[in-house]
Amino acid sequence: MVVSGVDASIVHTVETMARAYGIQVLGTISKPVTARQLEDYLAKTSPLAMVPADGAVQEVATAEELRNGLANREFLAFFQPKVSMATGEITGVETLVRWYRPGQGVLVPKDFIYRLEEEGLMDLLLEALLKQTCTYLRAWSDRGLEVDASVNVSMHSLEDIGVADRLHALVLEEDCDPRRITLEVTETDVMSKLADVLNVLARLRLKGFKLSIDDFGTGYSSLQQLNHMPFTELKVDQTFVREAPSDERSRSIIETSLDLARKLSLKSVAEGVENRAEWDLVKAMGCQEAQGYFISRPMPGHQLPDWAEMWQPPTTEEDVRYGALIPALVRKPMSAAACLSGPRVLAAGWSPA
């Protein structure tokens, strides 16, 4: 947490710098600090995201552990709903990977994605997650829940021209429609190898996949480049959403991003919506969809239909925090088998190894 009495723009720079060094920054507080402010910030931290399971110190994963983990289906998809801000209707889910690492509990992406990247295993991860996503899309559909799904794609997977054909074939094999799948790419990544990436993005769009620009506002794209990308969705980064209620600069960035989305006919999604104030603000600014803890934390796939039945958008003054129910469900230690062995999933023909 950055605590300082100096000018807000300097504090902001320090915060950005700390994040760039890989430090998890909870936020910034101007002096004097009150206990209430500290409490608010600490309450925002997700135990699932922060605590290595059982309080164990994590060891850096070896290439062999990662390969075994992929072969043994230890990398499991969690799903976080996205909802329409106008109607409250659930429109889709984002697939987020969790690693049920033997002896280490449930790990979140920041603990292991970099190792998969270093070992050149991101393509295998993408395939595993895409398969699980298709399986759940079918299972949810059987229960009357028709949603689309978004899967994160690393830049490394987009460097290879053949990836569009491979993903297309995989999705058809899984009996799914590529038009129901959005691939989320981070803006920073997209811009570094422009020609190759443009080639792959165009192929993916031709095959029916939708494309989302993730964490928008944190990368270095020029508007000109963005105009040439075949994106269908823009996701406003959660740092701006978090700061928006108290920071005019963040509000301006969101406004400009939403304006751009409208002009380029992209669907807009606000990420990291954590409370009613943020929901109201991005809604008033004209954002189309929202995702975040205020709506729900990421959950195992078999929980989604029950959650969808229970979910009600905030319509009254009262702070209706249905999302708050979810941590209680997912925080309990859960084995990989328990996570995926819901009867609906087995009925859909997919079971953990």
298 binds, among ligand C2E, Mg ion, none (CB under 5 to 8 A by kind): ligand C2E
44 alpha carbon, distance to own chain's centre? 17
Residue 301, interface with ligand C2E (CB under 6 A)? no
Angle, vertex CA 70, rays to CA 68 and CA 75, nearest 5: 125
Minimal distance, residue 343 CB to Mg ion, in Å: 29
C-beta neighbour count of 314 within 10 angstroms: 17
Report how far residue 147's alpha carbon sits from residue 90's, in angstroms, rounded to the nearest whole number. Answer: 7
**Residues in 170-189 at the binding interface with Mg ion, rule: CB under 5 A:** 184
Report how far residue 276's alpha carbon sits from residue 195's, in angstroms, rounded to the nearest whole number. Answer: 41
Q: How far apart, in Å, do the first and last CA atoms of the chain sit?
A: 41
Residue 298, interface with ligand C2E (CB under 6 A)? yes
272 binds, among Mg ion, ligand C2E, none (CB under 5 to 8 A by kind): ligand C2E
Contact code string over 9-28 relative to ligand C2E, x by CB under 6 A: --------------------
154 binds, among Mg ion, ligand C2E, none (CB under 5 to 8 A by kind): ligand C2E
Choice from 66, 90, 106, 108 touching ligand C2E (CB under 6 A): 108
Contact 190, 197 (CB under 8 A): yes
Please name the residue that has the structure tokens 């983990």. Answer: 69
Minimal distance, residue 352 CB to ligand C2E, in Å: 17
**Residues in 54-83 at the binding interface with ligand C2E, rule: CB under 6 A:** 80
Residue 152, interface with Mg ion (CB under 5 A)? yes
Report how far residue 181's alpha carbon sits from residue 210's, in angstroms, rounded to the nearest whole number. Answer: 6
Residue 289, interface with Mg ion (CB under 5 A)? no
Choice from 83, 93, 113, 234 touching ligand C2E (CB under 6 A): 113
Contact 27, 242 (CB under 8 A): yes
205: tokens are 């769009």
Contact code string over 261-280 relative to ligand C2E, x by CB under 6 A: ----------xxxx------
Contact code string over 165-204 relative to ligand C2E, x by CB under 6 A: -------------------x--------------------
Pairing between β-strand 148-152 and β-strand 105-107 as defined by DSSP bridges: unpaired
Report how far residue 47's alpha carbon sits from residue 34's, in angstroms, rounded to the nearest whole number. Answer: 23
Angle, vertex CA 260, rays to CA 259 and CA 261, nearest 5: 90
Report how far residue 214's alpha carbon sits from residue 232's, in angstroms, rounded to the nearest whole number. Answer: 11
Instruction: Say which residues have a Cβ less than 8 Å from residue 153's Cβ, sequence separation at least 6.
Output: 126, 183, 184, 185
**Residues in 255-274 at the binding interface with Mg ion, rule: CB under 5 A:** 271
Choice from 74, 215, 233, 278 touching Mg ion (CB under 5 A): 215
Minimal distance, residue 152 CB to ligand C2E, in Å: 4
Report how far residue 145's alpha carbon sits from residue 165's, in angstroms, rounded to the nearest whole number. Answer: 28
Minimal distance, residue 204 CB to ligand C2E, in Å: 15
Choice from 90, 106, 129, 299 touching ligand C2E (CB under 6 A): 129
Angle, vertex CA 177, rays to CA 171 and CA 182, nearest 5: 80
Residue 214, interface with Mg ion (CB under 5 A)? yes
Please name the residue that has the structure tokens 């095959």. Answer: 207
Question: In this chain, which residue has its C-beta nearest to Mg ion?
Answer: 184
Residue 278, interface with Mg ion (CB under 5 A)? no
Binding residues for ligand C2E (CB under 6 A):
49, 80, 96-97, 108-109, 113, 125, 129, 152-154, 184, 214-215, 238, 271-274, 292-293, 298
